[in-house]
Amino acid sequence: MSSTTKNNKPDQLIARLGTLWKDQQEQILVARTVQALDTRYNLSGGVEDIIKQMFGRLANSFAVLSDIQDKKILDIACGSNTSKAPASLYINTPFGEKRIGRASKGFTAQFEPWFCRILLELDANPVGIDFGDLDREFFAHYRADLGRIGALDFLPDRSFDALQDSRLFGSPEFTAQFPDQADRLKIAQEIKSQEQRLLKTDGIMIHSDADALLR
């Protein structure tokens, strides 16, 4: 890949994401965030779709992107640098839906903790929970076996302004641990119960795979 093509990638992503918020200051904030992510992690590795998905969730949850600043936001099953990739991945973004096969370039990288990384660049206070390796990440994080009942009991009640859980139930690690659908539903109920406990009364549920599975 030429350096020109690589350098254009963040610009194209910024232009697309900038359409999610109309205010110029919000668009500048998006641009700064993407540029910071590209500098730190190099966004040319096929992670554009997951970045779009996560920004899309923020657009659905926060009319003003700068409102995220100083918010304590929990990401359950945030992803890690050792997360395994499933056979395929369905991504729903504001710009269209896509299913990606394992052979696609950068697929494994899509399971790194991008949501927490984005939140950190937006001056939020993200907290990531995952069973994988997060030791080199700059946001607050905890290692927990989310297949265990009570795994999130250590977190205080009503302690988060917003939260999400995403992709736990489709991960190879989780499906190998719980091949029975009834067991997966039991864990989904546990995650949903914990989310209700942890979210502040006026808090925002950004996204919940557990809730979607139970529906």
pLDDT band at 87 (very low <50, low <70, confident <90, very high): low
Residue ranges per structural domain of the chain: 3-214
Task: Report pLDDT for 6.
Answer: 47
Q: What is the DSSP string of the chain?
A: --HHHHHHHHHHHHHHHGGG--SHHHHHHHHHHHHHHHHHH-TTSS-HHHHHHHHHHHHHH-SSGGGGTT-EEEEET---TTPPP-SEEEEEETTEEEEEETTSTTTGGGGS-HHHHHHHHTT-EEEEEESS--TT-SSEEEE--TTSTTTTTTSPTT-EEEEEE-STTTSHHHHHH--SHHHHHHHHHHHHHHHHHHEEEEEEEEEEHHHHHH-
What average pLDDT does the chain have? 88
CATH fold of the domain at 3-214:
Rossmann fold (3.40.50)
Place of tokens 């979607």: 212
pLDDT band at 93 (very low <50, low <70, confident <90, very high): low
Task: Report pLDDT for 86.
Answer: 60
Res 101 pLDDT > 90? no
Res 104 pLDDT > 50? no
Lowest-confidence pick of 10-14, 123-127, 167-171, 180-184: 167-171
What pTM value is reported for the model? 0.89
